[in-house]
Chains A and B, each alone.
Chain A
Amino acid sequence: MTTGTLLQEVKAFIIETLDLEDVAPADIDDDAPLFGEGLGLDSIDSLELGVGLQKRYGLKISTESEETRQIFASARALADFIAAHRTQ
């Protein structure tokens, strides 16, 4: 799978997991931060994305670590992490 389609998939994954209304993948910039500025996600979203990653890709991440912050830095960072570590 090319990085481009995985990036698209990751954006859809974020939108569905968090049930974001009226947000299309095109609204999520590849490199914009998901939290704070940019998409503006919050700490509860971070937990829900963590649970979603485990369900969907069999990936376990520890909450509130520096690594987690890097994984969720942007849609591209999350796609890179999934590509490198996915088990399903």
Chain B
Amino acid sequence: MSEAFLRDFARYCPLANATDRHVVIYRNGHPVFHADFRRDIALARQALAGLETVLLADRPTVALYEPDVYAFTVWLLAAWSLGMMVALMGDDLPATRKALALPWIGREHPANAISNWHAATRTSRVLRVNSVHPGLTLFTSGSTGKPTPVEKTLAQARAESQMLEAAFGALLTPDTRYVSSVPHPHMYGLTFFILWPLLFARPCVAERLCYPEDLERLPAADYLFVTSPTFLKHLTDASPGLAPHTRWRLAISAGSPLAAEIAASSATFLQAPLIEIYGSTETGAAAYRRGTAPWQPLPGVRFSLEAATSRLRIHSPALSVAERESGFLSGDLVRLDEQGGGLELLGRADRLVKIGEKRISLTQIEQELVRLPEIDNARIVPLQHEQEGGRLVLGAAAILTPVGEARKRNLGKARFDRFLRAALRDQIEAVALPRRWRYVTTLPTNDMGKSTHDGLGRLFAPALPHAFCLAQEQDASIGRARLQLRCAPNLVWFDGHFPDLPVLPGVVQIDWAAHFARLHFGLDLQSAPITRMSGLKFQHLIRPNDAPCLDLIWRPGKQELEFAYTLAEIPCSRGTLILRKV
């Protein structure tokens, strides 16, 4: 019977003694009791027993994606009780399913209708689980955009929950309900929102909080809030009313760094202690802090410093047996106090770049930027120049505050860019001052609040080719310039135009002609806009990586700009732009 598994899984934990009337979860406001829970697990086991599983590293493995928290938990425990390893998936998009050749359970499975499970009878097959075997495969969402599998045993998952209970259990009551605003198939949500309450016999609320206003509709009870900086920021911005007779015993934030002001205002708003968690998918939760206090290791965790690189080594009961020996070398740069406890995070090791032989911390630049009254949030992206031997330059994607918006309106973008560079000059090496600036209303992030490298990189796709002026002559009546262009393959204009045959659009060629004429002849297109075009001809395609020549002839008397693009003397396009007479 699956009770045997539950007992084994929950050994040393209160769940083992849970009564039939113990509430496991609240779905749509209604309690699901432990007896129902056990029955549903048994039914899910029945469905899984007939499944042809795939052996992955000698273990039968299934992929699980199920947005419903209750159904997710049932599937998870049922699969574990059959000795299966479960790969937790963040979505079940066709591409994801194709990439992972495993039997998928959850939403897509024919037996997913939970109402049917309730109607069916119990099974009675006994299956004990050896919790040393891998029980779980998680995929780190990572900042590189490439998912990497991380394996966990049930023993590790249990050790982590025990650490959390030891650290924070005293703040909670047996009836405290866990409610979450973060996705449950990731390490953070899974541990804090599903496994911890499950093992310590506290109920959770199945419905994920998506909007600050959802807080207004919670039934009267005591709550623990599993959340992220992104949600807390929205929460303090929106400041909804709190539902009557709800009491927040503890709020927990993880996923990305929490700004001190957001931490303070959220704690005040919820009238609850707000704990920030430091950890990773590989190590589980490792340290915690309240407000701006120094990071403290969770009970049982020990830190050491890899002297050569200043990287943090984590020793934790939640690591695998093999890793516990040496500890897990994290990618974070830290300072430790003498006792080896208090931890100061200095940024990611992989967020260090070298520019002109200088080591530059991208995290430090971001921190300096958000200190400015003009900047609300910012991400720094290293960008390699397209031209040969080009230097590494930094791009800044920033969300402006109202102060910043106003100043940008006054100065115009170019001067505002320089204003920000000047504001950073005392703190940041000149070579590390961001060169490319993008002002956005949101930073591209995944739902864990982490910026994605690909999403950020796309913001900086160049709109202009690299250009070099080969020759230029000017007298009062005529100006000529000959420019050598290089069309980088990641030019924004090649994107989707056309998917299978990227070509440079004609309208872009006209825009570039106007742009370079402005640069070389000082055309003022504000007061003398283009009114007409004549003799337009597009004869030969310009493709990614092409290096066309652009010839410009400017006749100020006639207000006419002639342009011609050629590729190794082959005419590509030509035409004349006629500006309004001033």
Contacts and interface: CB of A to CB of B under 8 A. Distances in A.
A42 B520 contact: no
Contacts of A23: 414
Interface in A3-58: 5, 8-9, 12-13, 15-17, 19-27, 35-37, 39-44, 48, 55-56
Contacts of A56: 468-469
B431 A43 contact: yes
Contact of B468 (A16, A39, A43): A16
A23 B519 CA distance: 9
B450 interface: no
B433 A24 contact: no
B387 A8 contact: no
A19 B355 contact: no
A16 B431 contact: no
Contacts of B520: 8-9, 12
A21 B436 contact: yes
Nearest to A17: B468
Nearest to B435: A21
Of A5, A22, A24, A41, chain B has the most CB atoms within 10 Å of the CB of A22
A84 interface: no
B570 interface: no
A12 B483 CA distance: 11
B466 interface: yes
Nearest to B433: A40
Contacts of B417: 21-22
B385 interface: yes
Q: How large is the interface on A (under 10, 10 to 19, 20 to 34, 35 or more residues)?
A: 20 to 34
Given A15-B519, A37-B422, A5 B474 contact: yes
B421 A40 contact: yes
Nearest to B415: A27
Contacts of A22: 413-414, 417, 437
A30 to B, nearest CB: 13
Interface string B328-359: 00000000000000000000000000011000
The SS class assigned to the B binding surface is: mixed
Contacts of B391: 44, 48
Contacts of B414: 22-24, 27
B272 interface: no
A2 B64 CA distance: 73
B518 interface: yes
A25 B474 contact: no
B430 A40 contact: yes
B474 A44 contact: no
Contacts of A17: 468
B511 to A, nearest CB: 15
Given A19-B466, A21-B435, A27-B415, A44 B355 contact: yes
B387 A19 contact: yes
A39 B418 contact: yes
Q: Most B CB atoms within 10 A — which of A9, A27, A41? A: A9
Contact of A44 (B413, B422, B431): B431
Contacts of B422: 37, 40
B431 A9 contact: no
A20 B434 CA distance: 11
Interface of A: 1, 5, 8-9, 12-13, 15-17, 19-27, 35-37, 39-44, 48, 55-56
